């Protein structure tokens, strides 16, 4: 398994990975498959090409992308990075891929001068919560709706770098 930073030339592969994630685990993301599928190609390229953001993909030995994680600024929280878009394909789970993706985002965040990382995880996803806790994240007590039109709730977790 290799963790790679996604570059602009990878935008189509990233789009397919993101759409697969949204189809596989729709209750894990604020965006929906319908919304993401409607995005024009230029938006996907801009998502990958934004200099303030780092997107990482997990690539299996056979070249298939099996996971992703995004680090982007949380402007409302100063030197805090936001970890979003975290997903590992079902066939690659429980193999250290999630922790490796989190580690890649954290390494990039430290190098970029961030002092903490925050994330939101659906409260009905105990496997993801355990992964984040194992990586040193703690619940802040803050909770929000996952998105409009759903009863799902996310809990906010954070970590000091």
Q: What local confidence, expressed as pLDDT, does residue 50 receive?
A: 93
Q: What local confidence, expressed as pLDDT, does residue 74 receive?
A: 84
CA distances from 1 to 47, 55, 57, 60, 62 (A): 24, 16, 10, 5, 9
| Per-position pLDDT tens, the chain of length 161 | 999 999 999 999 999 999 999 999 999 999 999 999 999 999 999 999 999 999 999 999 999 999 999 999 987 767 899 999 999 999 999 999 999 999 999 999 999 999 999 999 999 999 999 999 999 999 999 999 999 988 999 999 999 99
Residues in the chain: 161
pTM: 0.95
The structural domains of the chain, with segments of one domain joined by +, span 2-160
CATH class of 2-160: alpha beta
Q: What local confidence, expressed as pLDDT, does residue 102 receive?
A: 98
Helix (H, G, I), strand (E, B) or coil at 53: coil
């Amino acid at each position: 398994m290799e963790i790679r930073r996604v570059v602009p030339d990878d935008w189509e592969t990233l789009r397919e990975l993101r759409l697969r994630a949204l189809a596989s685990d729709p209750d894990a993301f604020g965006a929906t498959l319908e919304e993401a599928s409607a995005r024009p190609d230029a938006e996907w390229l801009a998502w990958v090409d934004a200099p303030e953001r780092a997107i990482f993909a997990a690539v299996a030995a056979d070249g298939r992308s099996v996971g992703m994680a995004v680090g982007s600024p949380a402007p409302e929280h100063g030197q805090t990075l936001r970890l979003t878009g975290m997903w590992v394909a079902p066939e690659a789970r429980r193999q250290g891929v999630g922790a490796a993706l989190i580690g890649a985002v954290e390494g990039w965040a430290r190098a970029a001068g961030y002092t903490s990382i925050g994330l939101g995880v659906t409260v009905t996803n105990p496997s993801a919560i355990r992964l984040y806790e194992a990586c040193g994240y703690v619940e802040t007590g803050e909770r929000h709706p996952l998105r409009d039109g759903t009863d799902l709730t996310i809990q906010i977790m954070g970590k000091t770098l």
